[in-house]
Structures are given as C-alpha cells and as structure tokens.
C-alpha cells in the first residue's frame, strides 16, 4: 500500500502572534509512504527537490535516517498505538523553499504523520495528529495551519492538546510573500531572542493581538496597520536580514500597504496590502534588496483553506 499527502506551505507569527498565529499558502510539499517487501530494510527516506543548486546543497544535509524529523513523526505515531515502524519507503517531493520561514519542516512532519496514519487505518484523529505534530515541532503555529488550512491562532495546552480558532481573512487584503535568495535557519533566528522581555513589550504584543483579531473580523485597515507591529521577535531578528529595516521603513509610508512582517523565523517577508498596493510594495522590496545584492522572488498568495490532503 502507498499513500501520498500534499501539505501546504505555512507562515507563522504574522507580526504580533509570536508562536501563536499561522496561515497556509498554496505551495506544497508531497510526502509519500510506501510499505515495502524487503525484510530488514527498515525505513528508507528519499528527498527530491526542484530547487536551484543552493537549496539542493542544503537538502543534502537533511538527515534521512532515524535522526530525521520525518522518521520521528512516523515513529511517534506508530508508538502511540503500541507499534514500531516496519519496512517503509518515504519520499518527499520538496517544492517549499527550505530555511526561508515558509514551514518546510512542518510540512514534512504533517505529511509523514497523515500518510502513516492512513496506512495504519486512521487510528489518530485530528486532535491526536495536532498533538503529535506539535510535540515534534515545539509549537503549533505552523503545524496547525498545515493540517487544517486557513489562518488561525493556536495554543498548546499543559496536557499536550492543541486548541485553535480560524480567522476570516478579508478577501480585500492581499498577502505577498517576498522570498530572498539567502537562508536563515530557525536555530539562528531563535538564538538572538532574549529569554525574558520587558513587561511593557509583552503588554504591547497582547494589545496588538487583540487589534489583529478585531481588524480581520471588521475589515478595519487602520486597525490592522497598528496591529502588525511587534516587540517580541522582529526587532531582535532585524540584523539577521540585510535591508529589512529599510524595507519596513519605506513601506510604512506607502498608501494601501497595511504592513510588513517576517514570515516565521525568516528570511521571507510578508506584505499585507489592499487595493493596488501590492505592485508598488514589491517594487520597493526588490529595489532595496537589489542594493544589498539580494535576489528575491515574489508570490501573491491566496490562503489555502484545505490544509493537508491525501492525493493517492
């Protein structure tokens, strides 16, 4: 038996929602798990990519043995029902750029879990899949939209369960992802964050989260411009991304641009615009990054509302 699952790219944080908010985009990794008939072969993992040479070189350093998060996802699911993985071949067709803040690791975790769950006869329900995926990833802001689709905020409870709520993103607001040609690993992006933050900064972000949720429900552009500010992670990561401070400052004064945020841990940035603001915003980003000798690809992403899907 063979099962293939396609999983969307995701972006986490969205400004004030550090480790809390996420959204799914229609760019997919596909994970295929096949039961083999080769006794003693164990779990074989193969990674396939359409990326340029830089991403392919990075892909070569991704573990494909028992140290892989792909294997860990499968193993945890099997262990949850008292089994161990048998002879399996796992193939990942990777189309989501790696180390760019677009949820590439979450997508393979989710894809492996759902494919293995299907092979086992679906012993895990949605809640169990969310819990296992979050245990591997560490927080639910990427894995939840990868599984469920849409834009949502999610919270990991003390008992390991995940609660979430989807948000009704206004169709009038466009999301543009600007993907530069430099990588930024999550470990490095996490390393610059302080272990403690001032109370005033925590309050600031709590206020902005409330504004964000109200703004999407009421389609209040002025409120969203205020809501997309952050003091918990973006100020500390600014120096890891050349030109970002200039980009954010330039976009701040552009009509029809609601804001610019780091996608996940970076290096991708998201720009939220309305009306005809997207084209001017993309030109600004390209010009500033060009001055930094940074090439950039831009994508006007609709939201993927389906989440992970079994395709065969």
Looking at the fold, whether 185 and 103 belong to one and the same domain comes out as no
Looking at the fold, whether 34 and 162 belong to one and the same domain comes out as yes
Looking at the fold, whether 183 and 37 belong to one and the same domain comes out as no
Looking at the fold, whether 159 and 190 belong to one and the same domain comes out as no
Instruction: Let me know: does 106 contact 10? Beta carbons within 8 Å.
Output: yes
Q: What is the pLDDT of residue 37?
A: 72
If one counts the domains in the chain, the total is 2
CA triplet 247, 252, 253: central angle to 5 degrees?
115
The structure's pTM equals: 0.92
Looking at the fold, whether 163 and 178 belong to one and the same domain comes out as no
pLDDT tens-digit profile of 118-157?
999 999 999 999 999 999 999 999 999 999 999 999 999 9
pLDDT tens-digit profile of 233-285?
999 999 999 999 999 999 998 999 999 999 999 999 999 999 999 999 999 99
Q: What is the CATH number of the domain that holds 211?
A: 3.30.70.890
CA dihedral (236, 242, 246, 248) positive or negative: negative
Neighbouring residues of 270: CB distance < 8 A, sequence distance ≥ 6: 11, 14, 175, 176, 177, 178, 260, 261, 262, 263
Q: What is the CATH number of the domain that holds 76?
A: 3.30.230.10
Residue 38, φ and ψ in degrees, nearest 5: -115, 90
Q: Residue 130's closest CA among 153, 152, 146, 118?
A: 146
Looking at the fold, whether 147 and 14 belong to one and the same domain comes out as yes
Looking at the fold, whether 16 and 99 belong to one and the same domain comes out as yes
Residue with tokens 């759902």: 114
The residue segments making up the domain with residue 261 are 173-301
Looking at the fold, whether 158 and 230 belong to one and the same domain comes out as no
For the chain, residues with pLDDT lower than 50 are: 53-54, 56-58, 60-61
Looking at the fold, whether 268 and 179 belong to one and the same domain comes out as yes
Instruction: Let me know: does 275 contact 173? Beta carbons within 8 Å.
Output: no
Looking at the fold, whether 53 and 128 belong to one and the same domain comes out as yes
Looking at the fold, whether 185 and 256 belong to one and the same domain comes out as yes
Looking at the fold, whether 159 and 118 belong to one and the same domain comes out as yes
The rounded percent of the chain whose pLDDT value lies above 90 is: 83
């Amino acid at each position: 038996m063979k099962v293939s699952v396609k999983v969307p790219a995701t972006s986490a944080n969205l400004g004030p929602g550090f480790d809390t908010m996420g959204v799914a985009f229609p760019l997919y990794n596909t994970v295929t798990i096949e039961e083999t008939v080769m006794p003693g072969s164990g779990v074989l993992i193969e990674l396939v990519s359409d990326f340029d040479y830089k991403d392919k070189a990075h892909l070569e350093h991704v573990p494909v043995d028992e140290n892989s998060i792909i294997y860990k996802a499968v193993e945890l699911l099997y262990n949850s029902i008292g089994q161990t993985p048998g002879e399996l071949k796992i193939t990942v067709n990777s189309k989501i750029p790696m180390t760019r803040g677009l949820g590439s690791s979450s997508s393979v975790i989710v894809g492996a879990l759902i494919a293995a769950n299907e092979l086992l006869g679906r012993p895990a329900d949605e809640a169990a899949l969310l819990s296992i995926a979050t245990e591997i990833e560490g927080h639910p802001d990427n894995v939840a939209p990868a599984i469920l689709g849409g834009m949502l905020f999610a919270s990991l409870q003390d008992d390991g369960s995940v609660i979430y709520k989807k948000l009704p993103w206004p169709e009038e607001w466009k999301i543009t992802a600007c993907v530069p040609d430099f990588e930024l690993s999550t470990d490095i992006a996490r390393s610059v964050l302080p272990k403690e933050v001032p109370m005033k900064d925590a309050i600031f972000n709590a206020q902005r989260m409330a504004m964000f949720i109200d703004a999407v429900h009421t389609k209040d552009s002025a409120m969203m411009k205020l809501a997309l500010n952050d003091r918990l992670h973006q100020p500390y990561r600014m120096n890891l991304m050349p030109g970002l401070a200039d980009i954010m400052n330039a976009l701040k004064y552009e009509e029809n641009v609601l804001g610019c945020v780091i996608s996940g841990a970076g290096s991708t940035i998201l720009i939220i615009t309305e009306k005809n603001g997207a084209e001017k915003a993309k030109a600004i980003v390209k010009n500033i990054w060009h001055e930094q000798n940074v090439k950039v690809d831009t994508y006007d992403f609709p939201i993927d509302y389906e989440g992970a899907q079994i395709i065969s």
